[in-house]
Amino acid sequence: MYLLRRMEITSDMLYKAKAIRGFCHLYDGQEAVVVGMEAALEKTDSVITSYRDHATHVMRGGSVLEVFAELMGRVDGASKGKGGSMHLYRRQANFFGGQGIVGAQTPLGAGLALAHQYNQDGGVAVTLYGDGAANQGQLFEAFNMAALWDLPCIFVCENNHYGMGTAEWRAAKSPSYFTRGDYMPGMQCDGMDVLAVRQAFAFAKKHALEKGPMILEVDTYRYHGHSMSDPGSTYRSRDEISSIRQKRDPLEHARKLLLDGGLAEVSDIKAIERDVKKQIDEGLGQAKASPHPPMEDLWANIWKAPLGAEMRGIDSSHKQRLPQ
């Protein structure tokens, strides 16, 4: 969790220094969700999520180098520098990426669950979405198909209580998202407690494999705004953010459990923090040294043979042809 926290704080600084351009959705505050989830899953299970996907990539076995390089558009990035913040993938660990369209990953997650069922491989598909996407129509279509076919799918609503500048109470008649399944069971857990998340996912996986899909709502909180273009303080108070940090921060909760339970000394935690900072510095240095993709890669994976076409506005030798 500390690695993910430092990675996102560093990404924040890189964006403000204009080393990262475009969209960038940070995950700090929600670390216990993805860490607890991975503690209950295997890499043979499938995961698909929204555009807030940096931490998910790392927890599926990716590196901070791949995250930083992708954010800066470098070839060592998870998507070779061509996807950016919202499109990290790790196919070898069944991470099917971040999705830029709100809620679009939910029917894809049902499809991944169908593949597990068809192949009889014993895996489940985890489909993560936010409270902002919980009112999207395709989610309910996915619910229906998953329940109809008893698919091994866990629909996970990461309820951080705010969509893009809009509080949940302004967007949802019923913010009890775990009850939205109608014909499938739902469960809610504390998304700021990594152990509670682990237990909830372990239960949900067992249920999905034996009885079919279910909804898991994790009650969490994002510290940054919706994206880097959102200060995150116009629709909620700074006192609210500060209160969550003081009372429910997932890292501080885990630290307290370790120290109070005699499972670690302060020196042990300090050693972990030093090691994490070293990993972050090394990953960032390698990402900055990574080159940008060559211009010809603009055509890769788009057309098999571009037929000598030119990319207007990209090729400096291109001369605009005006009609006679």
Q: What is the pLDDT of residues 65-81, one digit of tens each?
A: 999 999 999 999 999 99
Element (H, E) at 127: strand 125-130
pLDDT number for residue 16: 95
pTM of the model: 0.91
Going by pLDDT thresholds of 50, 70 and 90, the confidence category of residue 322 is very low
Name residue, tokens 């951080």: 160
Cα(281)–Cα(131) distance, rounded to whole angstroms? 34
Which backbone phi and psi does 98 adopt, to 5 degrees?
-90, 150
Model confidence at 86: pLDDT above 60: yes
Mean pLDDT (whole number) for 278-290: 98
Q: What is the pLDDT of residues 94-114, one digit of tens each?
A: 999 999 999 999 999 999 999
Model confidence at 130: pLDDT above 60: yes
Q: Is 30 helix (H, G, I), strand (E, B) or coil?
A: coil
Cα(115)–Cα(151) distance, rounded to whole angstroms? 9
Model confidence at 10: pLDDT above 80: yes
Which of 241, 217, 227, 197 lies closest to 102, judged by CA? 227
Element (H, E) at 188: strand 186-190
Going by pLDDT thresholds of 50, 70 and 90, the confidence category of residue 251 is very high
Which of 76, 103, 72 lies closest to 85, judged by CA? 72
> Which domains occur in the chain, in start order?
2-296 (3.40.50.970)
Cα(263)–Cα(256) distance, rounded to whole angstroms? 10
Q: According to DSSP H, which parts of 80-190 are helical? A: 105-119, 137-148, 168-171
